[in-house]
Amino acid sequence: MAGTTELVTADPTNSFSANAHADKLSSHPISDDGRFVVFWTGASNMVSGVNGTNAFVRDLVNNQTYVLSRTATGAGSNGNNAVITPDGRYAAWVGSFNNTASDVVDTNGVFDVFRSDLANLNNITNRLVSVRADGVNSGNDNSGLINNGGPDTPEISPDGRYIAFMSRASNLVGGAIDGNNADPTANNRRDVLIRDMQNNVTSYVSTALGASTAVIAARSRLRSTIRPRVAVASLWRSKARPRT
């Protein structure tokens, strides 16, 4: 593929381009070897029978496009802001439809964060990232949104184990008090969290001194490198007492 330009947003016949805007790429849209590209579009001719805005992955070796944001019934699930790991094994994205994850019931009817396993592109499996603390359902508010209500891009570690995201949900971390939830001046500011997909544990990154979470400004952004502890670039104010 070196020295060539290829159409990523091609229809199933590889004869035509997308029939709607398909220029939506995240900060990490392509695998290191250049084989896989993730994107999202409202085009209805990317994959047969799939309509609406969805997240996709394109295999540039086999010239095939696959839906990431597919529900159990085969319908699209309003997928956005997809990112992919360097080796092309995992992708993370934001979607708003229920019945998308294979591991956890999702009945909140709002935006959540998902991880797709791309080991078998003909049978992509999705796991819910924005899981509530008891592990049996999704959170009690939107996850993966920015201040204007649009989707934001999650960050995924190179091995796909850790995923960092923003959320307004107050029930994703057990034993923690969500300071935003009780703060009348918070103005829907959200917290930054990180999910360990191996141990099935979610932790606050935006932790203030004491038990409450910090109040994160709506324009917060996650840095691109994730380890077990993630670094966050944000404007924030803490309700906790400053260190002395």
Burial of 4 (0-12, 13-18, 19+ CB in 10 A): exposed
Question: What pLDDT score was predicted for residue 234?
Answer: 37
Q: What is the pLDDT of residue 74?
A: 67
Q: What is the DSSP string of 116-170?
A: EE-SSGGG-EEEESSB-TTSSSB-SS-BSB-TTSSB---EE-TTS-EEEEEE--S
Q: Which residues of the chain have pLDDT under 50?
A: 209, 211, 215-221, 223-225, 227-244
pLDDT in tens, 68-91: 998 777 667 688 999 999 999 999
Say which amino acid occupies 179: G
pLDDT digit string, tens, across residues 131-177: 999 999 999 998 988 765 667 889 899 999 999 998 889 899 987 76
Place of tokens 């294979």: 102
Return the pLDDT at 229: 41
Chain centroid offset of residue 98 CA: 15
